[in-house]
Amino acid sequence: MEGLAEARKRLAQAQRVAVLTGAGISKPSGIPTFRDAEGLWKNFNPLDYATPEAYARDPERVWAWYAWRIQKVREAKPNPAHHALAELERRVLARGGSFLLVTQNVDGLHARAGSQNLVELHGNLLRARCEACGKRFPLPEAFTPPPLCPACGQRARPDVVWFGELLPEGAWEKAEKAFAEADFALVVGTSAEVEPAASLGRIAFASGAYLVEVNPEPTPLTPLAHLSLRTGAVEGMEALLAGWS
């Protein structure tokens, strides 16, 4: 595969690498998606759980759903694709380059795999945020929902971005800058349909980056990508990093 050889060569030499990941990278770790939840939660509708309105109406129900997801995330482990991205970062930094990993996932698996330069666009399930004073804090291993703020004692909510909410301050700007400056951009395990994350690949392409996509299905980015690997995240990362020592 000539395209793959070229992509490997580019990646081995790239100085500014930007990566975007989505749910597809956490699937091999067994993280349930909204679609999985539809099978497990009766009459499940994401809008009943992941909006500020749903939380205002029934915080206990929303917390029960998040407590279930938090449990699933704690049981999960980073998979070889998460580890490959942490290794890629170490190599790019070791040769004096820059690296940013932007994820739409809220499972915290990239950090657990050792990724350092990381933007979690949609927040993190394992953190809560005080509704009164705004303090963010890691959720303890065992807690009774709703958790209370360690600073002021008021109720805290999941520290994730719900439908209709803004991204965390500065997160989008940082992601956009990294993709605009990248000489190599990689998009893994996302259908590239959710905005604004979907536009990061287009920004990198428009700025002249070499763009590689790893996704089992074609996406709106496919026509722009220099290489599209029609595989799962683990196989795709193995193919891209094969032969590195």
Q: Annotated binding residues, as ranges?
A: 22-41, 66, 69, 104-107, 130, 133, 149, 152, 189-191, 215-217, 233
Half-sphere exposure of 37 (CA within 13 A, CB side): 16
Query: In the complex with Zn ion, which residue's Cβ is closer, 14 or 149?
Result: 149
Taking the complex as a whole, how short is the minimal distance between the CB of residue 134 and Zn ion, in angstroms? 7
Residue 59: what residue type?
P
Instruction: Check 82, 110, 122, 226 and give the catalytic one.
Output: 122
How many whole angstroms from its chain centre is CA 49? 20
- List, in order, residues 6 or more apart from 234 with CB less than 8 Å away: 28, 79, 80, 81
Residue placing its CB nearer to Zn ion in the complex, 130 or 237: 130
What CA dihedral angle connects 53, 59, 61 and 65, to 10 degrees? 90
Give 40 or 133: the residue with its C-beta nearer to Zn ion: 133
For the CB of residue 132, give the shortest distance to Zn ion in the complex, in Å: 5
Between CA 30 and CA 23 the distance in angstroms is: 10
Whether 122 is a known active-site residue: answer yes
Nearest to 20 by CA among 136, 174, 125, 170: 174
- In three-state secondary structure terms, 245 is coil
Q: Which lies closer to Zn ion via its Cβ, residue 130 or residue 203?
A: 130
* H or E element at residue 99: strand 98-103
Q: CB of residue 131 vs Zn ion: minimum separation in angstroms?
A: 8
Instruction: Judge contact between 173 and 154, C-beta under 8 A.
Output: no
Chain residues binding Zn ion by CB under 5 A are 130, 132-133, 135, 149, 151-152, 154
Q: CB-side exposure of 53: number of CA atoms within 13 Å?
A: 5
What's the CA gap between 103 and 117, in Å, rounded?
11
Dihedral in degrees, nearest 10, Cα atoms 121, 205, 98, 173: -40
* Closest CB to Zn ion among residues 40, 151: 151
CB 202 within 8 A of CB 192: no
Query: Which sequence positions are flagged as catalytic?
Result: 122
